Structure 1
Amino acid sequence: MVQYNPKDWITFIFKFHKSDTFRQLLPMMFFIGVYSGAIAFLEIEFWNLSEKSHVKNLTLMHTTVGFVLSLLLAYRTNTAYDRWWEGRKLWGSLVNNSRNLAIKLSAILKEDKDRNYFRRLIPAYASILQKHLSDEDTAKELFEGLDLQIDHHKHYPNQVAKMIFNKVNELYTSGKITGDQLRILNSELQSFTDVCGACERIKNTPIPYSYSAFIKKFIFFFVMTLPFGFVFSLGYYVIPVVIFIFYVLASLELIAEEIEDPFGGDENDLPTAKIASNIKKHVEELL
């Protein structure tokens, strides 16, 4: 995730980050500029359309349709940000639950062998969940000295969660923890799978294709018809105006596309690898 100072907003105007939409849209902006210039040349120099031409009235359509397009883009961006923010809250919950589980186990467990087991296994869940959500292959031995024996044909996080619960149940049957202590630990144990399921819901349920495709087509045809009407009032200045309008509308769609899957590898996605690393650090301190 890009780190920046939100108060230093002036530098944003002149600085272009590699994730900035300007870089991604530059080829299309060049095409839109050439296209707008060609339409302006045809209407002004070749066809010699008069001010009374019905083509001038196309601006009325853009005024009406532009309001609808703005509503669609606002809804699109808000929906994508809600998915990004929900993903952040879920990983914040995973951090807290991992800490709480480590704190409770540090007070309950007396043997170093048992404490060392959870010291490695609890962070392993966060790390494997991060790789699972980013579609990376998970190594069989994630931490040195701990063979997780991962079956790559099964659900990775579920296997680790099962191992954690099996170990807790083993401690209960051996008398190392009581029934009351088992109930105290149950909420944190269950929360791991709850977080995983909620993240998978975001990951595996994209914005419906028909909705996303419609917005892209809407933006494209809206921008491509802009030069026809605005040439009468702007002349060749229609070129920078249409390019700017396209940049604004297309940027909103690109931003929404990037953040609707917060567990990927884009610049503005959630830093899940860093969060998993912090969980490992905190759990090792507690246990």
Structure 2
Amino acid sequence: MISYNTKDWVTFIFRFHKSDTIRKLFSVMIIIGIYSAAVGYLEVEYFNIGKNDYIHNINVMHGMLGFVISLLLVFRTNTAYDRWWEGRKLWGSLVNNSRNLAIKLSAILKDENDRNFFRKFIPMYAHVLQIHLKDDDTSKQLFEDVDLEIDHHKHKPNQLKKIIYQKINDLYEAKKITGDQLIILNDELRSFTDICGACERIKNTPIPYSYSAFIKKFIFFYTMTLPFGYSVSLGYFVAPVVVFVFYVLASLELIAEEIEDPFGDDENDLPIKKISENIKKHVEELI
């Protein structure tokens, strides 16, 4: 995750990061610029199209569709950010629940071997979960056309949770914890599975294909028709104008694509590896 100063405008404007969309779109922007200049040349120099020709009025369509495409992109980016922020809240809950479990066990347990067990296995759950969420197969489990050779009985976070719960049950049977304490600890352990399931829901459920494909096609055809309506009034300046419009629209879609899966390895994804390391440090301080 990129660390930055939100008030440093100069850095934002004049420094290009490798995650900037202009790097990803540069080759396409060059092609669109050449295409727009070619359309402008044909309309103005070859066909001698003037302001009285009907094709000049195609910008009326762009004015009407511009409002529609802006609404679609706002909804698209908001939906993607909601997924990103929900993922951050889930991992924040995992941090707090791991701390609470460690604090309660630290007060309850007296045997050093038992304390060492939870000192190791509580942060291990966060570590295993972040690896599980970065696995490509995790995101394909709901795809109907993908046949995955996965043994679902070896779901790693579930297996680790089972080991932890078995240890707590053994402590109860050994009279090291009471029934009331068992109930208190059970609530913390249950939250681990709830968080894992919610993260998998985000990971396994992308934005519907038809919606994402429609926005991309809309942006493409909207941009490709811009030179026909503005070449007469802008001349060869239509090329940089169309390139800029494409850059703005396509960048919003690229940003939404990047943050809608917050558990990946992109520059703007959540730092879940760092969060799991912080959980390990906090648990070792508490137990």
With structure 1 as the length reference, what TM-score do the two structures score?
A: 0.94
Change in Cα spacing, 1:136 to 1:216, as seen in structure 2 (3 Å) is closer
Ranges in structure 1 where 5+ consecutive residues have no aligned partner: 138-150
> 2-side partners of 1:258 and 1:104: how far apart?
38
Ranges in structure 2 where 5+ consecutive residues have no aligned partner: 138-150
> 2-side partners of 1:154 and 1:11: how far apart?
47
Q: Per-residue CA shift, 1:176-223, capped at 9, x if unaligned?
A: 000011111111110000000000000000000000000000000000
Please, which moves more after superposition, 122-131 or 4-13?
4-13
Partner residue, 1:78: 78
> 2-side partners of 1:59 and 1:167: how far apart?
70
> 2-side partners of 1:51 and 1:118: how far apart?
77
Map 1:200-239 to 2 at 5 A. Answer: 200-239=200-239
Partner residue, 2:182: 182
Q: Per-residue CA shift, 1:88-137, capped at 9, x if unaligned?
A: 00000000000000000000000000000000000100000000000079
> 2-side partners of 1:170 and 1:96: how far apart?
25
> 2-side partners of 1:160 and 1:136: how far apart?
20
Map 1:148-159 to 2 at 5 A. Answer: 154-159=154-159
Partner residue, 1:280: 280
Partner residue, 1:146: none
> Is the contact between residue 50 and residue 56 of structure 2 (CA under 8 Å) also seen in structure 1?
no
Runs (4+) of structure 1 moved beyond 4 Å? none
Identity of aligned residues (%): 71
RMSD: 1.2
Partner residue, 1:265: 265
Partner residue, 2:88: 88
> Is the contact between residue 127 and residue 273 of structure 2 (CA under 8 Å) also seen in structure 1?
yes
Partner residue, 2:127: 127
- AA aligned to 2:106 is S
- AA aligned to 1:3 is S
Partner residue, 1:246: 246
> 2-side partners of 1:50 and 1:179: how far apart?
87
> 1-side partners of 2:271 and 2:9: how far apart?
23
Partner residue, 1:141: none
Q: Per-residue CA shift, 1:3-55, capped at 9, x if unaligned?
A: 10001122111111000001000001001100000000100111111221111
> 2-side partners of 1:153 and 1:236: how far apart?
63
Count of aligned pairs? 274
> 1-side partners of 2:273 and 2:266: how far apart?
13
Partner residue, 2:4: 4
- Report the CA distance between 1:81 and its aligned residue: 0.1
> 2-side partners of 1:253 and 1:204: how far apart?
20
- AA aligned to 1:274 is K
> 2-side partners of 1:85 and 1:50: how far apart?
51
Partner residue, 2:163: 163
> 1-side partners of 2:175 and 2:91: how far apart?
33
> 1-side partners of 2:269 and 2:253: how far apart?
16
- AA aligned to 2:122 is I
- AA aligned to 2:91 is W
Q: Per-residue CA shift, 1:210-257, capped at 9, x if unaligned?
A: 000000000000000000001111111111100100000000000000
> 2-side partners of 1:80 and 1:198: how far apart?
16
| Secondary structure at 1:97 match in 2 | helix
Map 1:23-172 to 2 at 5 A. Answer: 23-135=23-135, 154-172=154-172
